[in-house]
Amino acid sequence: MKKELMSGNEAIARGVYEAGVRFAAAYPGTPSTEIMEEFAKYDGVYAEWAPNEKVAVEVAIGAALGGAKALAVMKHVGVNVAADPIFTVSYTGIAGALVIISADDPSMHSSQNEQDNRNYAKFAKIPMLEPADPQEAKDYVRLAFKISEQFDTPVFLRTTTRVSHSKSVVTLSEPQISEDKTTLAYNAGKYVMVPINARTRRVEVEKRQQALKEFVETFPENKMEINDPEVGIITAGMPYNYTKDVFPNFSYLKLGMVYPLPEKLIRDFASQVKKIYVVEELDPYLEEQIKAMGIKVIGKEIFPYTNEFDPGIIKNAINSNLESAVSPYKENLAQRPPNLCPGCPHRGLFYALKKSKAYVHGDIGCYTLSYLKPLEGLHSCICMGASIGMAHGMSKALGEKGKGKVVGVIGDSTFLHSGITPLMNMAYNNSDALIIILDNSTTAMTGMQEHPGTGYTLMGKEAKKVNLKVLVSALGIENIKVIDPNNIKETQSAIKEELANSGPSVIIAQRPCALFKRANVKSQPPLKVDSDKCEGCKSCLGLNCPPISWKKGVTKEGSKRKGISFIDATLCNGCGLCAQVCKFDAIS
Amino acid sequence: MIDSKVKSILFAGVGGQGILRASDIMCMAMMEAGFDVKKSEVHGMAQRGGCVTSHVRYGSKVYSPLAESGSIETLVSFEKMEALRYLKFLSKDASIILNTEEIYPPAVNRGDSEYPNDVIDFLKNHYPKVIALNAAKLAHEAGNIRAANVVLLGAVSNLMNIEKSVWESVIKKSFPQKLLKLNLDAFQMGITA
């Protein structure tokens, strides 16, 4: 069969297609986003961006209850949002098939926490597979759909950033012919989770657990390799590869299914090796369950709880006498934090907002980057949609002390994800906070995905477009302003006015993302600093715009300046913010 | 499959420099030459002007897409100072391909931090083989500054035992027809630089 270089996410999409699945729903989130983008490219599939992960799972459950094989995809924190339906679909089971992908992010490459979602499998009593590389990602997602059909259960597939975003050689298989098994089959006793039915299903869950525990003992992807009997490694997912890389001769029990665990197989392995290490990133999830079996293993007493591993971390943990590799370069290097792009519409907004000295509750999106110096635009950021509820809560708690000083900022995609209900609450409970919706017409942070406010679907079809102003008004908000955040004066005065208003206010700051191709944001000619006029005040540097830099030592007769600003014409997109900020009319 | 020990190449630079594309082409060349290959990369936040790295590992059988610290044989640094950030990963006798282009981090732009001025000398004092070239300038000569990543691939191809026809074949698969000549020229400029 054909071999291709594929990322874990591309391989999952391929595996889903090969499994004959034609239905998927998701909300984008790194490191999971490409799974849906790739799946949507296959012929004959239906794939949609839902406004959030809870909706995506419910859409997939509905499809599965109608007999379809359905997929729901999200990042690890998305499972928190979707947890409500997930815990109960575990009781009902599914008529077709249902696989939920959780893409975890050890090391928090682009996340607010590094929760270990293997715990969800145990918590919700849902079987979980964990691939170690793209080939396994493709194969395991096919197996996940089989297990789902066989045991009438949702199945989790857990990946991590390193599996999703590494690439390796994948052997493709012939796609299964997709049969249409959808039908309206009524079975209210199984699917209406009122207490009387839930109690019955609860018992069925335990029966299923028993059946799965037997199944997993002979599941071929739980693989035992007996080499050196002195040391045995029990592991799963990517840490298997890291360990195998540095200790190729140890014995291994590599678990392809991390819930439920194969107790007999683990005991068998333990009887064949002298000393056992459990190698796993994040929580001692396997370790605690294996220790509960009464098996002596070494785990988190030598391996870190935090961050992803690499081969060196494992080698140094096991051989504690090794010296770690060190860099010969000892000086401090300037960091390269991610920054708002040249021409980003958030820059002007945060520059203006800083002048108000308000306490700003932030949210999840590109604008979270405004937290860094020198914009320092946010004072809190917890999770998707949290800014609005938090701003309201703080404003209520502070009363008069907080008047005109509490703001929440949230992007358009995030607002539609989970900002509507808390905004409704602000109207209902008569809040005094100001909410600013940063409407850049796309889901920018994850790479320009569509959402209900963009007017297009994932499949590229034109769609109904949410009118944010009408929506906000319908929720009961009376003070609404729509502004262009690239006009700093207008933005400043709108913020000042709305902060002074009593009752809840919303400013919709509308300007498309500078990188958004469809919005056709035309770059203007690059700006230039007039070195005769520049007084070296550094005001423009306060924007933290990538093309603007400081040239030290360029002095001028009759001026106290110690240097001047310089604009790199190859990076500048001509948005003009710096010209608005300059007090000496030196930029044009 | 070729029988060989696993070797590692580290690509490093700044978001937007075409690092992931270059490491993809490298992997395809390794695959076509008969090696098993794995690579790691970082997406998301790193695209916004942050640091970008990609480990490429090849051999008869590769397990980990990440290399152990102190083990990488080849570093391709797409930006001058970025080379210094990853020396912990290199073996003491590593070869370094260095693009001399400088991209200032925000703290340097603001005048709060200095850009290191001794990068090439420092590297030459610590590693046996350092090849420094201005890939952006060469790419500009080839026809487009954005082909700097392919210039660097040409330069690193000199260190690898892979037929030129393999490289040309994967470059052909990687670019649309109208960009093909530009990229083949850029690759050749890297070889001769």
Q: Which of residues 467-526 of A touch B (CB under 8 A)?
A: none
Contact between residue A345 and residue A440 where contact means Cβ atoms under 8 Å apart: yes
**B48 vs A341, A549, A550: nearest CB:** A341
Superfamily of domain B7-136 in CATH is Pyruvate-ferredoxin oxidoreductase, PFOR, domain III (3.40.920.10)
A156 and A197 fall within a common domain: yes
Tell which residue, A305, A256, A314, has the closest CA to residue A284: A305
- Judged by CB atoms closer than 8 Å, whether chains meet at B43 and A327 is answered as no
Report the CATH number at residue A459.
3.40.50.970
A370 and A229 fall within a common domain: no
- CA B47 vs CA A57, A365, B142: distances in Å: 29, 13, 26
**B65 vs A162, A335, A549: nearest CB:** A162
Tell which residue, B33, B26, B12, has the closest CA to residue B56: B26
Q: Work out the minimum CA distance from A350 to partner chain B, whole angstroms.
A: 17
- CA A243 vs CA A234, A286, A316, B15, B65: distances in Å: 10, 16, 11, 30, 12
Q: Cβ-count burial of A371 within 10 angstroms (0-12 exposed, 13-18 middle, 19+ buried)?
A: middle
- Judged by CB atoms closer than 8 Å, whether chains meet at B64 and A324 is answered as no
A466 and A566 fall within a common domain: no
- Does any CB of chain B come closer than 8 Å to the CB of residue A572? no
**B106 vs A166, A246, A339: nearest CB:** A339
- Judged by CB atoms closer than 8 Å, whether chains meet at B43 and A110 is answered as yes
Contacts of A310 in chain B (CB under 8 A): 64, 66-69
Segment A131-146 shows an average pLDDT of: 98
A148 and A239 fall within a common domain: no
- Does any CB of chain B come closer than 8 Å to the CB of residue A315? yes
pTM over the 0.95 mark: yes
> For A298-333, how does the pLDDT look when each residue is reduced to its tens digit (9 = 90+)?
999 999 999 999 999 999 999 988 888 999 999 999
Residue A196 contacts by C-beta under 8 Å, 6 or more apart in sequence?
Answer: none
Q: Work out the minimum CA distance from A191 to partner chain B, whole angstroms.
A: 39
- Does any CB of chain B come closer than 8 Å to the CB of residue A133? yes
Segment A325-349 shows an average pLDDT of: 94
Contacts of A166 in chain B (CB under 8 A): 38-41, 65
How sure is the predictor about B50, in pLDDT bands with cuts at 50, 70 and 90?
confident
Q: Which of A457, A489, A510 is the last residue of a domain?
A: A510
Determine the pLDDT at residue A523.
80
- Judged by CB atoms closer than 8 Å, whether chains meet at A167 and B41 is answered as yes
Terminal Cα distance for chain B, rounded: 32
Contacts of A110 in chain B (CB under 8 A): 43-45
CA-CA-CA-CA torsion sign (A177, A182, A183, A186): positive
Segment A58-87 shows an average pLDDT of: 98
Q: Work out the minimum CA distance from B79 to partner chain A, whole angstroms.
A: 12
Determine the pLDDT at residue B2.
59
**A439, part of any domain:** yes
Name the residue of chain B whose CA is nearest to A242's CA.
B64
Name the residue of chain A whose CA is nearest to B7's CA.
A245
Q: A86 versus B2: which is more confidently predicted?
A: A86
A36 and A137 fall within a common domain: yes
A469 and A556 fall within a common domain: no
> For A499-525, how does the pLDDT look when each residue is reduced to its tens digit (9 = 90+)?
999 999 999 999 999 988 887 777 899
Q: Please tell me the distance from the alpha carbon of residue A27 to that of residue A36, in angstroms, as a whole number.
A: 9
Total domains in the fold of chain A: 4
Contacts of B124 in chain A (CB under 8 A): none
Torsion angle (degrees, nearest 10) of CA A42, A43, A45, A50: 50
Q: Work out the minimum CA distance from A329 to partner chain B, whole angstroms.
A: 7
> For B153-174, how does the pLDDT look when each residue is reduced to its tens digit (9 = 90+)?
999 999 998 999 999 999 999 9
- Judged by CB atoms closer than 8 Å, whether chains meet at B45 and A326 is answered as no
Q: Work out the minimum CA distance from B188 to partner chain A, whole angstroms.
A: 25
**A272, part of any domain:** yes
**B108 vs A334, A446, A544: nearest CB:** A334
Q: Please tell me the distance from the alpha carbon of residue B162 to that of residue B170, in angstroms, as a whole number.
A: 12
- Does any CB of chain A come closer than 8 Å to the CB of residue B5? no
Contacts of A374 in chain B (CB under 8 A): 110
**A93, part of any domain:** yes
Distance of CA A342 to the CA centre of its chain: 24
Q: Which of residues 41-100 of B touch A (CB under 8 A)?
A: 41-51, 62-71, 81, 84-89
A7 and A91 fall within a common domain: yes
> For A350-407, how does the pLDDT look when each residue is reduced to its tens digit (9 = 90+)?
999 999 999 999 999 999 999 998 999 999 999 999 999 999 999 999 999 999 999 9
**Residue A460 belongs to domain spanning:** 345-510
A208 and A244 fall within a common domain: no
**A293, part of any domain:** yes
- Judged by CB atoms closer than 8 Å, whether chains meet at B68 and A446 is answered as no
A295 and A429 fall within a common domain: no
Q: Which of residues 261-300 of A touch B (CB under 8 A)?
A: none
Q: Work out the minimum CA distance from B24 to partner chain A, whole angstroms.
A: 8
A483 and A550 fall within a common domain: no
- Does any CB of chain B come closer than 8 Å to the CB of residue A371? no
> For B87-143, how does the pLDDT look when each residue is reduced to its tens digit (9 = 90+)?
999 999 999 999 999 999 989 988 889 999 999 999 999 999 999 999 999 999 999
Q: Which of A458, A482, A510 is the last residue of a domain?
A: A510
How sure is the predictor about B44, in pLDDT bands with cuts at 50, 70 and 90?
low
**A331, part of any domain:** no
Determine the pLDDT at residue B43.
60
**A349, part of any domain:** yes
Q: Work out the minimum CA distance from B88 to partner chain A, whole angstroms.
A: 4
A434 and A495 fall within a common domain: yes
**B64 vs A110, A242, A339: nearest CB:** A242
**A298, part of any domain:** yes
Residue B8 contacts by C-beta under 8 Å, 6 or more apart in sequence?
Answer: B55, B56, B57, B67, B71, B72, B73, B74
Determine the pLDDT at residue B46.
55
A198 and A50 fall within a common domain: yes
**A330, part of any domain:** no
Query: Average pLDDT of chain A?
Result: 96
Q: Please tell me the distance from the alpha carbon of residue B181 to that of residue A14, in angstroms, as a whole number.
A: 32
> For A215-242, how does the pLDDT look when each residue is reduced to its tens digit (9 = 90+)?
999 999 999 999 999 999 999 999 999 9
Name the residue of chain A whose CA is nearest to B122's CA.
A329
Q: Which of residues 380-419 of A touch B (CB under 8 A)?
A: none
Contacts of B45 in chain A (CB under 8 A): 30, 109-110, 338, 369
- Judged by CB atoms closer than 8 Å, whether chains meet at A241 and B81 is answered as no
Q: Where are the domains of chain B?
A: 7-136
- Does any CB of chain B come closer than 8 Å to the CB of residue A338? yes
User: In percent, how much of chain B has pLDDT > 70?
Assistant: 95
Which residue shows structure tokens 């992007």?
A411
Q: Please tell me the distance from the alpha carbon of residue A420 to that of residue A415, in angstroms, as a whole number.
A: 6
Report the CATH number at residue A549.
3.30.70.20
φ/ψ of residue A189, rounded to 5: -60, -30
User: What count of other Cβ atoms lies within 10 Å of the Cβ of residue A155?
Assistant: 29
Contact between residue A588 and residue A547 where contact means Cβ atoms under 8 Å apart: no
Determine the pLDDT at residue A396.
98
> For A541-571, how does the pLDDT look when each residue is reduced to its tens digit (9 = 90+)?
999 999 999 999 999 988 899 999 999 998 8
Instruction: Give me the numbers of helices (H) and strands (E) for chain B, helices first please.
Output: 8, 6
Cβ-Cβ contacts under 8 Å between A and B: the total is 159
Q: Which of A151, A182, A217 is the last residue of a domain?
A: A217
- Does any CB of chain B come closer than 8 Å to the CB of residue A339? yes
